[in-house]
Amino acid sequence: MANPLAALRSKPNLIISISAGPGYYPYYVKNAKGEICCHLGDWDTAEKLYYGNLAAAQTSRQQVLCGEALDQLGHVKALKGSYQEAMELSLAAMKIADGEGSEKLRAKCIGSIGNIHFYLGRMDKAIECYRNLKKLSLSSGQAGQTISAVGNLGMALIELADYDQARDCFMEQIDLCRRQGDVAGLGDAYGNLGIIHSRNGRFVEAEACYRIQIELAQKTGDRRAAATALGNLGGVFWARGDYHGALACCREQAEVDEQIGDYHGLCQVLGNTGIVHKNLGQYAQAEECFTRALELARSMGNRRAEGVTLCNAGNLFKRVGDNLRAMECYQRAQAFCQELGIKFFLLETLYQLAELHLLLGQPGQAAEINGQARDLCDTMPDPELSFNIALLDHRIGWFQGMKRKALDGMRQLGRAQLDPKQQAEVRYFLHKLGGDAEDGAEARRLYRELLERRPDALYRERLEELRRGDPEPQNTIKI
């Protein structure tokens, strides 16, 4: 696929100089137009306007205005996914702010640099920037900057799975936006709050938040926010088993993202679309989506997106039995997530990698990695992954020779208050490992009921396997 950012990167390096010659120019008019274009997703036009402002500021020797134009250009570059160029522009603007003693410009630059760190997955640096911005904006009475700092801080905390502090940020953001009459900010805040609800399995509450976000985005004409909310709403449909509804949301979001040139959003929605295709058993389409998402992530230097997509691609390859490619994806995803401190996806990657080692007949390595996943899960409880890790512990124990203890542990796990999917998984592995016909019959019943509500390829494949017969347990288990 052609690199969508090639045209941007072919631009010559910007020479930052302040030349002599005063002159009148409609700086603030162009600035306002640029902000509107960014709001509408017309980033090419915004970029031209900001380059015009930069030239005018250089001609008139107004250094603070020159710094503002540089930072605005950096903002547009970041939206387009050209992060390195964005960082260079915002750092140049920061240098001017420090030289001129402009606290207002300095605050803008701190926010922009924090956003670039966020996109690149450097959450610790992003959080530091957002906290500094909040402190500066509160001292100067800049309510808009405070709203931005609080909301972005919450998003960075979500990436570190600190949901309580993130929720506090978003509730503060909602309160600030209502007091300031900031409709666009209010929509963002509800969307952010919806992410927390979704991560914690509260899908009714998440859907309500996303629908408020869509309504507010449509009211303000913010196509990027509306597209993001559509993607989030697609995640709710996916969680409920409405895969075709999820695909419809993803396709609509991708169409808008491509129209407005939001490559960051496009990369994310391609990954989500791949997950839905995988769940539907459309494995070729899923691989195509993940491949495109990886190309975009790498072209933008978006390391967080690359790590997350590698984990999802690993899940696909594991599903289809391509274990070597799955191992490569998981190991690279693990390295990204550990380096960037993305706990939620690190936990998922560790669990999937541990299961892959078991499937490859390596129970010792599986036990070690699953233990790391269990320790991490204790610091950020996730009900679904907690169950998966516990069940995998028993499966590993069976292959390590502790067969009776493993089967007893699975039965004890099955007596807990589990949802139908988890009950089906317990019965499936009890049947596969213990050979009990009653477990096999109950697993078939549960998978049939699950398949009626959710067209997941895993349920269909498990059900077909159980219908074919009851093969003897082996050192690898087809999933």
140 versus 442: which is more confidently predicted?
442
Residue 431, domain member (yes or no): yes
Residue 319, domain member (yes or no): yes
Whether residues 87 and 9 fall in one domain: yes
d(CA 154, CA 169): 5
Most confidently modeled range among 84-88, 131-135, 258-262: 131-135
- How high is the pLDDT of residue 2? 31
DSSP for 148-176, written as a single string: HHHHHHHHHHHHTT-HHHHHHHHHHHHHH
Whether residues 46 and 19 fall in one domain: yes
Among candidate residues 124, 206, 223, the one with its CA nearest the CA of residue 170: 206
- Quickly state the pLDDT bin for 34 (edges 50, 70, 90): confident
Whether residues 370 and 474 fall in one domain: yes
pLDDT at position 290 over 50: yes
Task: Identify the domain containing residue 82 by its residue range.
Answer: 1-120
**How many domains does the chain fold into?**
3
Whether residues 347 and 479 fall in one domain: yes
| CA distances in angstroms from 6 to 10, 82, 105, 125, listed in the order given | 6, 10, 30, 28
The torsion angle over the Cα atoms of residues 95, 97, 100 and 105, rounded to 10 degrees, is 170
Note the pTM of the prediction, 2 decimals: 0.72
The domain that holds 403 is classified in CATH as: 1.25.40
- How high is the pLDDT of residue 41? 61
Q: Tokens 């805040």 belong to which residue?
A: 189
- How high is the pLDDT of residue 200? 83
d(CA 204, CA 212): 13
Report which residue type is found at 7: A
Whether residues 15 and 1 fall in one domain: yes
Whether residues 302 and 384 fall in one domain: no
Residue 214, domain member (yes or no): no
Residue 112, domain member (yes or no): yes
77 versus 294: which is more confidently predicted?
294
Whether residues 330 and 370 fall in one domain: no
In this structure, are residues 400 and 367 in contact, taking their beta carbons and an 8 Å threshold? yes
d(CA 321, CA 106): 53
In this structure, are residues 85 and 122 in contact, taking their beta carbons and an 8 Å threshold? no
Q: Among 227-231, 381-385, 432-436, whose mean pLDDT is lowest?
A: 381-385
- Write down which residue in 68, 85, 120 finishes a domain: 120
Whether residues 306 and 424 fall in one domain: no
pLDDT of 457-474, one tens digit each? 999 999 999 988 644 444
pLDDT at position 406 over 90: yes
- Write down which residue in 292, 308, 341 finishes a domain: 341
Whether residues 287 and 353 fall in one domain: no
- How high is the pLDDT of residue 140? 87
Residue 209, domain member (yes or no): no
Residue 233, domain member (yes or no): no
Whether residues 347 and 273 fall in one domain: no
Residue 226, domain member (yes or no): no
Whether residues 366 and 419 fall in one domain: yes
Residue 180, domain member (yes or no): no
- Quickly state the pLDDT bin for 22 (edges 50, 70, 90): very low
Q: Among 24-33, 118-127, 154-163, 432-441, whose mean pLDDT is lowest?
A: 24-33
- Write down which residue in 284, 313, 341 finishes a domain: 341
pLDDT at position 188 over 60: yes
38 versus 408: which is more confidently predicted?
408
209 versus 30: which is more confidently predicted?
209
- Quickly state the pLDDT bin for 40 (edges 50, 70, 90): low
State the sign of the Cα–Cα–Cα–Cα dihedral 82, 85, 106, 163: positive
Taking all residues of the chain, what is their mean pLDDT, rounded to a whole number? 87
- How high is the pLDDT of residue 1? 30
Q: What share of the chain has pLDDT > 70, as a percent?
A: 91
- How high is the pLDDT of residue 312? 96
Whether residues 385 and 414 fall in one domain: yes
Quote the tokens at residue 314.
């690993």
pLDDT at position 417 over 80: no
The domain that holds 58 is classified in CATH as: 1.25.40.10
pLDDT at position 431 over 60: yes
Quote the tokens at residue 321.
């039995």
